[in-house]
Amino acid sequence: MAEKLKSSADVTIIGGGVIGLAIARALAQRGAGDVCLIERNSLGLEASFAAAGMLAPQAEANSQDDFFNLACRSRDLYPNFAASLRDETGIDVELDTTGTLYLALTYEDLVHIEKRYEWQTAAGLPVEKLTASEARQLEPCINESVVGALRFPLDLQVENRRLLSALTNSVEKLGVTILTGTIVSSLDIERDRVAGVMTSRGFISSRAVVIAAGTWSSFIRFNPESAKPALAIEPVRGQMISFDARPQVTRHVIYTPRGYIVPRQDGRLLAGSTSENAGFARQVTAGGIGSILQNALEISPAISALPIVDTWAGLRPRAPDNLPVLGPCDEIGGLFYATGHYRNGILLAPVTGELITEAIVAGVTSPLLGPFSPSRFELVRA
Ligand SMILES: Cc1cc2nc3c(=O)[nH]c(=O)nc-3n(C[C@H](O)[C@H](O)[C@H](O)COP(=O)(O)OP(=O)(O)OC[C@H]3O[C@@H](n4cnc5c(N)ncnc54)[C@H](O)[C@@H]3O)c2cc1C
């Protein structure tokens, strides 16, 4: 049952995925006044629900750039983030510290992981180089044709669906107003400042608004329309498979350049994913599932005996340069963006919550957010 509509809020957040929830929680914890979170369906059922929950910046990075630094900062916030959520809500988000393995199964893969090893060791980051037999000793399920591997001991994984439950429980306890089943259609802008949001259930005036609407962020209209920044967030579909793997086949999250498998504590083994430009169609396809299966079996032929228990797809929100869009909109006072998290929204949730809150409450934009400013995109102004 949706909560009664409020006529005003100090801060309104559009979108109840992991990003909107993390920001709502951080704002409420900082005493940001009346915080209102608006979600058109139910909380946390879109990309954040579909994700694999890997928190693996080192396994995925090709260089030490601004994005890598932001991602590592967020990963390193996770132990406290998970512990405080557990204290507040009693929900264990199953933060797993076993680490991530990255396999080389071909000569090209080996060259790829050598490069990753070199720049990360030069940067003083913990990473272990394993021979094929060391990798198979660690995880006997691995394909016999493995030729080498890296282990990233600091990379983590989290059960993202439990994380969404914990965040929801936390924001409810903290007194955030949650309006589900409510669509934000437009933002009202007066004299270059946000005045509020028009929703399917009426107007809510607000001195600050955060757009955290994931892959739908560009659909929110601006009133007047001439104020709208030209921010084009697009959906990138990712499909997933879940197997029943009791007993579990691996302790580590295992990657190759083509796919990954993720063991869950309840005996599920997830395998992913695809990256498809399929518009807003959230279907699972034969081709998508076929390619995930092929890549999962390449990691471990033992998977061929496992029953498939579920398949699903989600839409990753991607900005034109593949980077997140984070921080205040320079042209419109009181408007903040927290979108475009693409492949890393679960990983980036704690740092996004913390830094967007600092920008709203203290008016301080962290230098960490600079490279991700919405101002890097052109404005469309009449
Ligand atoms: C298959 C797959 C695997 C992934 N694996 C990982 C991973 O291992 N690690 C990782 O870090 N990330 C992963 N991701 C990426 C991650 O899921 C996303 O980056 C993240 O969930 C984005 O969160 P969000 O809150 O911005 O978007 P969403 O979770 O999509 O939430 C946006 C919300 O906004 C609501 N909304 C939209 N428009 C409106 C409106 N006008 N009014 C009201 N509400 C609105 C939507 O209904 C939705 O609930 C994966 C994604 C996919 C699809």
By most ligand atoms within 8 Å of CB, the mutation choice from 341, 351, 356 for ligand 1 is 341
By most ligand atoms within 8 Å of CB, the mutation choice from 36, 48, 94 for ligand 1 is 48
252 contacts 139 by C-beta, under 8 angstroms: yes
Q: How many CB atoms lie within 10 A of CB 39?
A: 26
- Residue 227 is predicted with a pLDDT of 76
- Residue 1 is predicted with a pLDDT of 47
Between the CA of 28 and the centroid of ligand 1 the distance, in Å, is 21
Q: Specify the 3-state DSSP secondary structure of 84.
A: helix
280: nearest Cα among 3, 47, 13, 16:
47
In whole angstroms, how far apart are CA 267 and each of 74, 249, 264, 270?
27, 9, 6, 10
Q: Whole-angstrom Cα distance, residue 13 to residue 20?
A: 6
Mean pLDDT across 236-257 = 97
For the cut 70, the answer to whether the pLDDT of residue 381 exceeds it is: no
Mean pLDDT across 124-145 = 98
Mean pLDDT across 275-285 = 97
Among residues of the chain, what percentage have pLDDT more than 70?
98
Beta bridge partners of 316: 236
For the cut 70, the answer to whether the pLDDT of residue 380 exceeds it is: no
163 contacts 25 by C-beta, under 8 angstroms: no
For the cut 70, the answer to whether the pLDDT of residue 47 exceeds it is: yes
298 contacts 105 by C-beta, under 8 angstroms: yes
pLDDT band at 22 (very low <50, low <70, confident <90, very high): very high
- Residue 217 is predicted with a pLDDT of 97
Q: What's this model's pTM, rounded to 2 decimal places?
A: 0.98
Between the CA of 305 and the centroid of ligand 1 the distance, in Å, is 32
Alpha-carbon torsion, ordered 123, 94, 216, 309, to 10 deg? 120
Q: Specify the 3-state DSSP secondary structure of 57.
A: helix
For the cut 90, the answer to whether the pLDDT of residue 147 exceeds it is: yes
Residues in the chain: 382
Residue having the nearest C-alpha atom to atom 3 of ligand 1: 51
pLDDT band at 378 (very low <50, low <70, confident <90, very high): low
Q: Specify the 3-state DSSP secondary structure of 199.
A: strand
Say which residues have a Cβ less than 8 Å from residue 188's Cβ, sequence separation at least 6: 194, 195, 196, 197, 198, 203, 223
Mean pLDDT across 168-189 = 97
Mean pLDDT across 34-56 = 98
Mean pLDDT across 201-220 = 97
* Atom of ligand 1 lying closest to residue 343 CA: 15
Ligand 1 pocket (Cβ < 6 Å) reads 14-20, 38-41, 46-48, 50-54, 183-184, 212-216, 220, 238, 240, 272-273, 314, 316-317, 339, 341-347
SS3 content of the chain, % helix, strand, coil (to 5): 35, 30, 35
Q: Whole-angstrom Cα distance, residue 303 to residue 243?
A: 8
For the cut 80, the answer to whether the pLDDT of residue 189 exceeds it is: yes
Q: pLDDT averaged over the chain?
A: 96
Between the CA of 357 and the centroid of ligand 1 the distance, in Å, is 19
Mean pLDDT across 91-99 = 98
Q: How many CB atoms lie within 10 A of CB 164?
A: 24
DSSP state of 309: E
Handedness of CA 356, 357, 361, 365 (dihedral sign): negative
Q: Whole-angstrom Cα distance, residue 169 to residue 159?
A: 15
Mean pLDDT across 277-302 = 98
Q: Whole-angstrom Cα distance, residue 19 to residue 48?
A: 8
Between the CA of 346 and the centroid of ligand 1 the distance, in Å, is 8
Strand 100-104 and strand 253-255: pairing?
A: parallel
- Residue 382 is predicted with a pLDDT of 33
Between the CA of 213 and the centroid of ligand 1 the distance, in Å, is 8
For 21, the enclosing helix (H) or strand (E) is helix 18-29
294 contacts 339 by C-beta, under 8 angstroms: no
CB hemisphere CA count around 80 (13 angstroms): 7
Residue type, 70: L
DSSP state of 304: G
Say which residues have a Cβ less than 8 Å from residue 370's Cβ, sequence separation at least 6: 66, 327
Between the CA of 252 and the centroid of ligand 1 the distance, in Å, is 24
